[in-house]
C-alpha cells in the first residue's frame, strides 16, 4: 500500500515544488548551497520552523538533498540548472499553479458530464479556454509565456529529430507565440514559416519574431483554424500542441484542411505528447490528461499514437510515420505526405 503515498498526497507533492520555486529555495541553493536550514530560513526570510517543513518536503521528494545538515539541490533540479532549463521549468510550475491546479479539482465532474468543467475558473461564456484568455488581465501573457516553455522543453524532437529535407514553407496552425516557428527557422535557415492563430496570440508572436530578428522568414496570419481558409503556398502544415485540444472529428476536419492546403507531395506534421498504444501509460500522459479533461475544451485528450496515425490516413495522407522523442516527456511527431500526382 506504500505506493498510495505519493498519490494520496499528490496535491501536497506539487505544493512542495511550487513553494520551493516561489520562495526562491532552489535558486538560493543553486547560487549559495550547500546551506544549513538556519541559513535557508534567513535567506528566504521565513521562520526556522517553516524552513524545516519545506526542506523536509523537498528532500523527501528528491528535489533537494541533505548531508551533514547542509542542503543542496537534488538531481532533477540540479540537472535543470545545468542544462539551462531552470527558467523553463519554473514557468511550467507557475502554469500548473495558476492555470491547472484549481480546475483539477473538477476532474470527477468533468468525467461524469463529459464537459471541461474546470473552465468555470476563468470568466466568459465560450466553451474553450483560448477564447477566455483575454477576459482576465495578464492571463493571456501568462498562458503564452508558459505555453512557450512547455514547447521549448519538448520541441527538440520536432526541431532536431524530424526530417525537413525538401520542405520550404511551413504553415504553423495554431502556432501560438511562434515558439516552434522561431526554433525551426533558426535550425533550418532555408525554411519560411507562417504562424496562423488568434489575433491575441499573434501580438505576442509578432513581438517574439521581431526580437528574434526573423521577420523576413517568419510571418503571421490571423485566422480561425476551423472556419477560415488556410493561406496557400505552403508545402508543410504543422499542428503543434493542437490536436490534443479537439475531438477526433474536429482533428479529422483540420487534417483534411491541411491535405487541401498543400500541393501533392506536401507534408503534414503533428507534434505533441502521445499516450502509448497499449493504454498503459506513460505516467506523464496519464496525469497531464487531468488538465486536458478539465480545461482546454470538452474533448481535449492526449491521444494514442495510432489514433493520430489513423486520422492522417483517413484524411488522405500516405507514408504515415512517427518519430519518438528521447527526452523525459512523451512528445513526438506523426508525419504524413499528400501523395504526389501520378
Contact footprint for ligand SAM (CB under 6 A): 130, 147, 151, 174-176, 179-180, 197-198, 201, 224-226, 240-242
Residue 60's alpha-carbon distances to 56, 79, 81, in angstroms, are 6, 18, 20
Report, in Å, the least distance between residue 174 CB and ligand SAM: 3
Distance in Å, CB of 242 to ligand SAM, minimum? 6
Q: What is the dihedral of CA 329, 190, 230, 336, to 10 degrees?
A: -50
Range list of β-strands (E), 138-260: 169-173, 192-197, 218-222, 236-240
Residue nearer to ligand SAM on the CB measure, 63 or 119:
119
CB of 134 to ligand SAM, least distance (A): 10
Min. distance of Cβ 184 from ligand SAM in angstroms? 11
Name the residue nearer to ligand SAM (CB basis): 201 or 262: 201
Instruction: Give me the least distance between CB of 66 and ligand SAM, in Å please.
Output: 37
CB 241 within 8 A of CB 271: yes
Question: Among residues 16 and 180, whose Cβ is nearest to ligand SAM?
Answer: 180
Least distance to ligand SAM from the beta carbon of 36, Å? 41
- Beta-carbon count within 10 A of 288 CB: 20
Q: Which is nearer to ligand SAM, 159 or 240 (CB)?
A: 240
- For residues 192 and 331, which CB has a smaller minimum distance to ligand SAM in the complex? 331
For helices 37-44 and 25-32, the axis angle rounded to 10 degrees is: 120
CB 249 within 8 A of CB 299: no
Angstrom CA distances, 304 to 63, 68, 274, 287, 339, stand at 31, 47, 5, 14, 24
Give the CB-nearest residue to ligand SAM.
176
Whichever of 147 and 262 has its CB closer to ligand SAM, that residue is 147
Amino acid at each position: 500500500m506504500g505506493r498510495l503515498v505519493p498519490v494520496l498526497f499528490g496535491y501536497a507533492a506539487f505544493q512542495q515544488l511550487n513553494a520551493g520555486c516561489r520562495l526562491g529555495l532552489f535558486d538560493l541553493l543553486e547560487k549559495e548551497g550547500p546551506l544549513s536550514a538556519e541559513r535557508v530560513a534567513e535567506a528566504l526570510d521565513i521562520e526556522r520552523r517553516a524552513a524545516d517543513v519545506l526542506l523536509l518536503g523537498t528532500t523527501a521528494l528528491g528535489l533537494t538533498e541533505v548531508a551533514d545538515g547542509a542542503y543542496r539541490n537534488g538531481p532533477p533540479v540540479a540537472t535543470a540548472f545545468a542544462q539551462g532549463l531552470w527558467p523553463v521549468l519554473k514557468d511550467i510550475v507557475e502554469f500548473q499553479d495558476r492555470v491547472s491546479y484549481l480546475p483539477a479539482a473538477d476532474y470527477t465532474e468533468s468525467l461524469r458530464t463529459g464537459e471541461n468543467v474546470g473552465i468555470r475558473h476563468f470568466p466568459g461564456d465560450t466553451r474553450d479556454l483560448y477564447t477566455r484568455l483575454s477576459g482576465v488581465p495578464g492571463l493571456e501573457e501568462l498562458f503564452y509565456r508558459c505555453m512557450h516553455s512547455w514547447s521549448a522543453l519538448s520541441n527538440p524532437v520536432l526541431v532536431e529529430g524530424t526530417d525537413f529535407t525538401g520542405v520550404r514553407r511551413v504553415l504553423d496552425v495554431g502556432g501560438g507565440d511562434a515558439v516552434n516557428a522561431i526554433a525551426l527557422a533558426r535550425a533550418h535557415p532555408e525554411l519560411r514559416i507562417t504562424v496562423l492563430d488568434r489575433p491575441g496570440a499573434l501580438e505576442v508572436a509578432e513581438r517574439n519574431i521581431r526580437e528574434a530578428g526573423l521577420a523576413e522568414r517568419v510571418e503571421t496570419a490571423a485566422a480561425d483554424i476551423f472556419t477560415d481558409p488556410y493561406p496557400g503556398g505552403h508545402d508543410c502544415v504543422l499542428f503543434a500542441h493542437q490536436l490534443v485540444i479537439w475531438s477526433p472529428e474536429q482533428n479529422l476536419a483540420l487534417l483534411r484542411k491541411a491535405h487541401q492546403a498543400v500541393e501533392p507531395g506536401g507534408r503534414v506534421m503533428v507534434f505533441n505528447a502521445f499516450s502509448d498504444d497499449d493504454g498503459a501509460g506513460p505516467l506523464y500522459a496519464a496525469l497531464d490528461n487531468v488538465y486536458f479533461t478539465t480545461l482546454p475544451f470538452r474533448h481535449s485528450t492526449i491521444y494514442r499514437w495510432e489514433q493520430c496515425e489513423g486520422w492522417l490516413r483517413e484524411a488522405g495522407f500516405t507514408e504515415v510515420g512517427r518519430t519518438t522523442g528521447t527526452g523525459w516527456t512523451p512528445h513526438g511527431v506523426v508525419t504524413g505526405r499528400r501523395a504526389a500526382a501520378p
